[in-house]
């Protein structure tokens, strides 16, 4: 009976694992292999060059700038996005004033706020990037226009043209277009927490802040941890690439101030015709992503709470 059960399980897993191996694992292996060659991406001919591409990468100033910018996004983006999402979700679900018949409830109009926060998710990331590119325009953009309206004519920076501001402007866009997803995700998690927990804590004199850190966050910790890993992958992946590629000057400028690893991979492969070197940078990106996920999962490990 047990033998038949395992054959049944293996039969169901064989096809998905085979597809995963072909479309996920095999491309990784190919990338690692090509990183030891001089393949241009334009010709089927190439030769092995050993660690020459890795030596070049470690001596490449643009690579280190790209890595630095990606690490900044990796550290800042999850903190801001998840922090705002937890705050908004808490206010929507249990942060409102006490009303008749309910000791715990969300702020008034919480249904509308859920829709408003989630709205950026229905827009293409390309559309979002283009809209904010116009908003950041120093001459005719909405942001500087608003500053002129309130009399702050002297405070009108060249948002995307200033090397000190460009990356932070792009970070703000990434926060705006991703925070709504986690508001809805955390709201669903908070809705499953029994209201008796909150009511008992409030009867004991606990404040809203205390209930958040003592009840909400511990019971949502698994969801927050998964969201942290997801945001790290997003900061190192296609979302960051798309926004930087569309919004930044160059793209990646000014003076490589917004170049991130995914963009540098694209530029090395399709602009410079150095596909092997691009795969080398891609291998470095893979290592950074796996290291980030491992650190988050290790540091965030705690005993599972059930209710």
Three-state secondary-structure class, residue 93:
helix
**Which token pair is 238?**
């296609």
Which residues of the chain fall short of a pLDDT of 50? 1
pLDDT, tens only, 72-117: 999 999 999 999 999 988 888 876 666 555 556 667 777 788 888 8
**What pLDDT score was predicted for residue 83?**
92
For residue 47, the surrounding DSSP H or E stretch is: none
Token pair 């893979």 is at which residue? 286
Q: How many CA atoms lie within 13 A of 41 on its CB side?
A: 17
Q: Cβ(107)–Cβ(95) under 8 Å?
A: yes
Distance from C-alpha of 236 to C-alpha of 288, rounded to nearest angstrom: 9
**Which token pair is 116?**
């408003």
CA-angle at 175, arms to 297 and 245, nearest 5°: 100
Give all domains of the chain, ordered by start, each with its CATH number.
Answer: 59-299 (1.10.3720.10)
**What pLDDT score was predicted for residue 193?**
80
Three-state secondary-structure class, residue 120:
helix
Three-state secondary-structure class, residue 253:
strand
Q: Which among 56, 125, 61 is positioned nearest to 283, based on CA atoms?
A: 56
Indicate the DSSP class of residue 119.
G
**What pLDDT score was predicted for residue 260?**
93
Three-state secondary-structure class, residue 38:
coil
**Which token pair is 49?**
């060059």
Distance from C-alpha of 191 to C-alpha of 14, rounded to nearest angstrom: 37
Q: What is the pTM of this model?
A: 0.86
**What pLDDT score was predicted for residue 2?**
57
**What pLDDT score was predicted for residue 61?**
93
Distance from C-alpha of 74 to C-alpha of 289, rounded to nearest angstrom: 9
Indicate the DSSP class of residue 23.
I
Say if residue 35 is exposed, middle or buried (CB neighbours under 10 Å; 0-12, 13-18, 19+). buried
Contacts of 228 (CB under 8 A, 6+ apart): 78, 82, 296, 300
Q: How far is CA 261 from CA 41, 147, 169, 233, 241, in A?
A: 19, 34, 18, 12, 8
Say if residue 57 is exposed, middle or buried (CB neighbours under 10 Å; 0-12, 13-18, 19+). buried
- Beta bridge pairs of residue 37: 48
Q: Where are the beta strands (DSSP E) in 49-123?
A: none
**What pLDDT score was predicted for residue 304?**
58
């Amino acid at each position: 009976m047990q033998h038949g059960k395992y054959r049944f399980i293996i039969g169901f897993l064989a096809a998905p694992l085979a597809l995963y191996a072909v479309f996920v694992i095999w491309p990784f292996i190919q990338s690692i292999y090509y990183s030891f060659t001089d393949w241009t991406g334009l010709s089927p001919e190439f030769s092995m060059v050993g660690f020459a591409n890795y030596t070049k990468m470690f001596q490449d100033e643009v690579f280190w700038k790209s890595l630095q910018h990606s690490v900044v996004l990796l550290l800042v983006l999850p903190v801001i996005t998840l922090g705002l999402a937890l705050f908004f979700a808490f206010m929507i679900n249990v942060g409102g004033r006490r009303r008749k018949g309910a000791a715990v409830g969300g702020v008034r109009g919480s249904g509308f706020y859920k829709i408003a926060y989630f709205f950026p998710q229905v827009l293409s990331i390309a559309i979002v990037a283009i809209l904010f590119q116009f908003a950041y325009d120093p001459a005719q953009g909405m942001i500087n226009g608003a500053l002129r309206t309130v009399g702050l004519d002297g405070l009108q920076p060249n948002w995307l043209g200033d090397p000190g501001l460009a990356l932070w402007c792009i970070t703000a866009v990434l926060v705006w277009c991703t925070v709504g997803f986690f508001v809805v995700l955390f709201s669903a998690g908070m809705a499953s927490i029994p209201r008796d927990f909150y009511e008992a804590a409030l009867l004991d004199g606990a404040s809203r802040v205390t209930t958040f850190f003592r009840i909400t966050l511990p019971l949502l910790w698994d969801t927050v941890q998964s969201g942290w890993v997801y945001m790290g992958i997003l900061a190192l992946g296609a979302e960051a690439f798309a926004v930087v590629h569309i919004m930044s000057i160059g793209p990646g400028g000014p003076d490589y101030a917004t170049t991130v690893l995914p963009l540098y991979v694209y530029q090395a492969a399709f602009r410079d015709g150095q596909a092997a070197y691009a795969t080398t940078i891609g291998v470095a990106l893979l290592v950074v992503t796996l290291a980030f996920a491992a650190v988050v999962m290790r540091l965030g490990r705690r005993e599972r709470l059930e209710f």
